[in-house]
Amino acid sequence: MAGTLVNGVASGDTTQTSTVLWTRSTTPGRVLFEYATDAGFKSIFGKARRQVSDPAIPVKVQIKGLEPATQYYYRATDPTGQATVGRFRTPAPQRFYQGLRFGVSGDWQGELSPYASISNADERNLDFFMQVGDTLEADSESPALPGVTQAKTLEQFRIKHAEIYSDRFGRNFWADLRASTPTYATWDDHEITNDFAGGATPARSPQKQGIFGTATEGFVNDTPVFDAALRAFQDYKPLRDEFYGNTADPRTSNEQKLYRFNQFGRDAASFVLDVRSFRDAPLPFLAETASPDAVNQYLQNAFQPGRTMLGAAQLQQFKADLLAAQKAGTTWKFVMSSVPIQNFGIPTLGERWEGFAAERADLLRFIQQNNIENVVFVTGDFHGNVVNNVTYQEGFGQPQIPTGVVDVMTSPVGIQLTVPFLPAPFNQTFAAPFGTATVAFTPPSLLATQGKSQAQYLGLSDRAAKDQFVREVLDTRITALGNDPIGLEGSGINAQLLQGQYIAAHTYGWTEFEINPRTQKLLVTTYGVNPYTQADLQANPDAIAGQQPFIVSQFTIDPVGFNPKQISLLGTDAKDVLSGTGGNDRIKGLRNNDTLDGKAGRDILLGNEGKDTLRGKGGDDRLVGGFGNDSLIGGKGRNIYIGEQGQDTFGIEQGGLAIIQTYQDSRDRLQLLNGLKFSNLEVVQRNDDVAIELNGKTLAVLNNSNAIQITGADFI
């Protein structure tokens, strides 16, 4: 990193008109933020200065008044005069389809940095990256805090955050990603301590080393350690500071608000949940070998009314935003939850949505009854990529009800475990993606009932075979409780597996979601690298940190309820080729040399900036060139041409009528298509307009023009 900005720069919490810029300087003094729409900063749109008094505390500034669907560049100049550059793109306006591409991952430890698993994410031209919780492990020892197995103070939490964004072995992949891509973030338990519950009393919440105390009144989210951890989390993320007001609920009133709702054109909306700060105490752990009666009672306890994961205020706003997105015609709704909502059975059930079964059922029932379509939960915490359809029960023992909701659980960026009570070799520190951890924690007696063993698993060398082994273990576990097996086969969801499986449980990595702007088809791709431990990394840092991510799983989902006959498409800052559907489309380019193809139907094509080519083809179209030297070809039908600025070319052909409202004979040209020749045409003055005719049939009308000035030189 340049100068004193050792953690790089970042942008985040980005909306159509605002963003938050972030950096940290190790030297006290003034940091200057500047932003522009060109990479050379020839025209700076705005500046902001922030004073660094404590090098442990990052500085950030919220920038407002931005344009939607616009690429911005920014730089932070440190107190020594050294600058670091980043970029971000604001989302499209809600009325347009533009397509969307974003990445998601969670779960990483400082001891495993610099994280080769995300090393390609900055190259993927993402619209944003979602950090879906467990963005560090404050309850494990790492190089930045040797000997400390549980952070307790604000200083220690800040050190842990700074560690994951710092150079190690000459690399800093998080800094590369955050400079290239705006981020959103939520937290989970390991930002403080394993399994904590912010809405429980300190005495009832899981905790390590007694960090919350033993009080039997009040909430964990009012303890000093909670406040310190949340302050550090906010400090090291480019997030706005938002708060709940007086909610009439003491667990949420005036507390920090991590929930976010964002709109990305008509393609998608995202809902970032905070599932930790307000949740009730979890159900106690139950062994998977417990008796059937104990299991039934446990599952019944999960349906206890009134138990909450989100808190009433957050749940109410989440429901309202889901409904608003559906009513606005938004295709995809991505719910960012740090814990999975799909069914995984008894192990650690109390940590997941399954452990809050009544609230889970209430939410899924709301989605189903209000016909909220194309809902995808994007989740983490369990350290593996597992995909399943989501069902719910009205109560214990009731049938499973399908919802059309999908849960895509993401791989971890990097995770290892040390669990001395496990059988060898799992009692030693091991790389712990979901597959390995599942086998390690499944009682050998249960594996034996399936004709499996840990030794059999350890003897597998093929990653696909390991994934299949774990899939079979999971399917046995969850189908025994009446749940659907892993995957989308037979779910009624129109999905197609392209590569790998619906489980990729033996890599570190991240997942990319891409929406096609024209068809709204969703492409989901998971990238991964081979897992490793801290010892592996230290022994061979170049090989481990130099791994290149590869595709481990890929599938598509077709949207429900999308009408492709009439859409509004919006381009990007790249050279776009945008095609209509054959219906009445609205297509708008942005700031490069775009090609817009309306196809059949009554289309509106807007070139905007750049040297654009607009083709209406069939139907009565309206073509607007905008800035730049554009080519406007309406095709058949009655077409209106508006060139605006630049040297424009207007197409004329038989079978169409081109009404050219902005022709300048000293600047623009008329293009004769499909064999037309100027010698066969007549140029006729009709009141204030000029008509271009062939055998008495008008092919074009030039508004506010003079026939005397229209000569053969105007035609090409």
Q: What is the DSSP string of 440-463?
A: HHS-HHHHHHTT--HHHHHT---H
550-557 and 495-500 strand pairing = antiparallel
Which domain covers residue 144, as residue numbers? 100-557
Sequence-separated (6 or more) residues with CB below 8 Å from residue 103: 121, 124, 126, 128, 129, 130, 181, 510, 511, 512, 513
Does one domain contain both 544 and 616?
Answer: no
**What's the pLDDT score for residue 30?**
98
Does one domain contain both 596 and 508?
Answer: no
CB atoms inside a 10 Å sphere around CB 492: 11
Can you give the three-state secondary structure of 374-412, one letter per residue? CEEEEECCCCCEEEEEEEECCCCCCCCEEEEEEEEECCE
DSSP conformational letter for 609: B
**What's the pLDDT score for residue 601?**
73
**What's the pLDDT score for residue 693?**
95
**Rounded CA gap, 52 and 102, in Å?**
32
CATH code where residue 402 lies: 3.60.21.70
CB 43 within 8 A of CB 34: no
**Rounded CA gap, 160 and 233, in Å?**
10
Let me know if 678 is exposed, middle or buried by CB neighbors in 10 A (0-12, 13-18, 19+): middle
**Rounded CA gap, 225 and 521, in Å?**
44
Does one domain contain both 606 and 517?
Answer: no
CB atoms inside a 10 Å sphere around CB 47: 12
128-132 and 100-108 strand pairing = parallel
Please identify, among 557, 588, 612, the residue that sits at the C-terminal boundary of a domain: 557
The gap from C-alpha 144 to its chain's centroid, in whole angstroms, comes to 30
CB atoms inside a 10 Å sphere around CB 398: 12
Does one domain contain both 409 and 529?
Answer: yes
Domain count, the chain: 3
- Give a yes or no: residue 186 inside a domain: yes
**Rounded CA gap, 134 and 570, in Å?**
35
Does one domain contain both 234 and 353?
Answer: yes
Does one domain contain both 293 and 369?
Answer: yes
CB 182 within 8 A of CB 262: no
**Rounded CA gap, 526 and 50, in Å?**
38
- Give a yes or no: residue 563 inside a domain: no
Please identify, among 499, 527, 557, the residue that sits at the C-terminal boundary of a domain: 557
Nearest-10 Cα torsion for 219, 223, 225, 231: 90
Does one domain contain both 316 and 422?
Answer: yes
- Give a yes or no: residue 4 inside a domain: no
Does one domain contain both 179 and 304?
Answer: yes
Distances (CA, A) of 449 to 347, 443, 453, 638: 17, 10, 9, 73
- Give a yes or no: residue 3 inside a domain: no
Ranges of the chain whose pLDDT falls below 70: 1-2, 564-566, 569-571, 573-576, 581-583
CB atoms inside a 10 Å sphere around CB 523: 16
**Rounded CA gap, 544 and 535, in Å?**
11
114 phi/psi in degrees, rounded to 5: -100, 10
Does one domain contain both 463 and 605?
Answer: no
**What's the pLDDT score for residue 256?**
98
CB 110 within 8 A of CB 164: yes
**Rounded CA gap, 235 and 529, in Å?**
30
- Give a yes or no: residue 1 inside a domain: no
**Rounded CA gap, 112 and 383, in Å?**
14
**Rounded CA gap, 627 and 641, in Å?**
14
Does one domain contain both 43 and 17?
Answer: yes
**What's the pLDDT score for residue 1?**
57
| Helix segments in 553-657, DSSP class H | none
- Give a yes or no: residue 2 inside a domain: no
Does one domain contain both 177 and 297?
Answer: yes
**What's the pLDDT score for residue 574?**
64
Kindly state the tokens that stand for 86: 């980043």
Does one domain contain both 502 and 482?
Answer: yes
Element (H, E) at 639: strand 637-642
H and E: helices and strands count for the chain = 12, 39
Q: Give the three-state DSSP class for 326.
A: helix
Exposure of 546 in the CB half-sphere (CA atoms within 13 A): 6
Please identify, among 51, 70, 89, the residue that sits at the C-terminal boundary of a domain: 89
**What's the pLDDT score for residue 2?**
59
- Give a yes or no: residue 95 inside a domain: no
Q: Give the three-state DSSP class for 216.
A: coil
**What's the pLDDT score for residue 371?**
97
